[in-house]
Each structure stands twice: as C-alpha cells, then as structure tokens.
C-alpha cells in the first residue's frame, strides 16, 4: 500500500471499483458520525453530489443497519446486499465502537467486504491513518469535509460518470 496518506490514492489499481450496475446514478452512502452537526453537513455534501444518504449516529447503529450483528440472516439475497450500501463514510473517533473497529467488521464480513469505506477524522495522525489504510480503508480524509473532498470520493471511490 503506497504512502499517499490524507487524500488516498485513486483506486484504479485496486479491484474495489463499484460497478455502475449496482446503483445507477445515485449511489447509496451510509454516513456514520456521532456529531450531529457533522452528520447534517456530510448528508448535504453527499446529496449535493447526487447520493442517497442514510446516516447513523454511532458504529453500533451502522452495524445493525447493515445486518452485521446478526449472522443468521441467510435470507439476505445478493441483490439485497448490493442495494444496501455502495459506500460507507465513517468518523474515526466515536464512543463505544470506533470507526476503525467498524471498518474491521465490514472487511471481515463476507457480505460487505467489497463495500469501500472512507474514514474521516479531525486529527491528522499518521499512525492512525496508516492503520486504517492497512485494514482496507479506501481513503482517509480530514474533517471538516468540503465539497471538493466529496467530489474526490465520488470520483475515485464511486467512479466518475461523464
């Protein structure tokens, strides 16, 4: 994994590009953040980028939403999973389960390991960033997010259209 830290690297070399067939023009993003203001902000940023947004106020809620806590959900079809989420953006510092722990759970799950995860944090700590990238985070970005950051995510992680 290369050392491109904050902005992450373009995913053209990895196999994690989400196929267009999965979400058409409006990818569904799960945004996880315990800060109310940040949730509102990320939601607007994503909506401005033509994304459908579901927010979760902590990692546990996110886990519940994804159905990761319940391993016995064998009735979930591949189509259900594909339509669930196309991207997870999560804050790093959250009470209870951190964004890093959420990332691990997602990457350990057979259903969701291909879903790109972007970690955001207000703190620029290289060891933290590396840890997340090594665990499979697509990108690590600094808060507060700007429209240009979301455009970059849209492009690099979700594949620019047109």
Partner 1 sequence: MAGVAQLQRQLVDYTASLFHEGFLDDQFNQLQQLQDESNPDFVVEVVSLFFEDSERLLNELAKSLEQQTIDFKRIDAHVHQLKGSSSSIGAQRVQRVCIAFRNFCDEKNVEGCQKCLQQVKHEYSLVKSKLETLFKLEQQILAAGGSIPFPM
As measured in angstroms, the least distance from the Cβ of 101 to partner 1 is 17
Helices marked H in the chain — which ranges?
Answer: 36-48, 59-66, 78-84, 99-108, 126-134, 147-156
Give the range of 20-28, 53-61, 73-81, 140-148 binding partner 1 by CB under 8 A: 140-148
Chain length of the chain: 162
Sequential DSSP letters for 90-108: EES--SSS-HHHHHHHHHH
| 73, 113, 146, 161: which one binds partner 1 (CB under 8 A) | 146
Please name the residues in contact with 39: beta carbons below 8 A apart, sequence gap of 6 or more. Answer: 31, 33, 55, 57
Residue whose CB is less far from partner 1, 97 or 115: 97
37 binds partner 1 (CB under 8 A): yes
3-state secondary structure of 157: coil
As measured in angstroms, the least distance from the Cβ of 153 to partner 1 is 15
Residue whose CB is less far from partner 1, 18 or 29: 29
48 binds partner 1 (CB under 8 A): yes
Location of structure tokens 């999973």: 81
Q: Which residues bind partner 1 (CB under 8 A)?
A: 34-38, 40-41, 44-45, 48, 93, 95, 122, 143-144, 146-147
């Amino acid at each position: 994994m290369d050392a491109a830290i904050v902005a992450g690297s373009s995913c053209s070399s990895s196999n994690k590009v989400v196929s267009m067939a999965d979400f058409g023009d409006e990818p569904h993003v799960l945004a996880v953040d315990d800060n109310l203001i940040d949730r509102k902000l990320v939601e607007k940023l994503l909506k401005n980028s033509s994304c459908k947004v579901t927010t979760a106020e902590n990692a546990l809620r996110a886990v519940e939403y994804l159905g990761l806590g319940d391993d016995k959900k064998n009735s979930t079809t591949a189509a259900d999973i594909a339509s669930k989420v196309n991207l997870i953006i999560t804050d790093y510092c959250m009470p209870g389960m951190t964004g890093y722990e959420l990332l691990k759970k997602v990457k350990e799950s057979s259903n969701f390991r291909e879903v790109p995860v972007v970690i955001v944090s207000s703190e620029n700590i290289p060891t933290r960033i590396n840890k997340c990238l090594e665990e499979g985070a697509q990108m690590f970005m600094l808060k507060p997010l700007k429209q240009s950051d979301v455009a970059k995510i849209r492009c690099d992680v979700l594949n620019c259209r047109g």
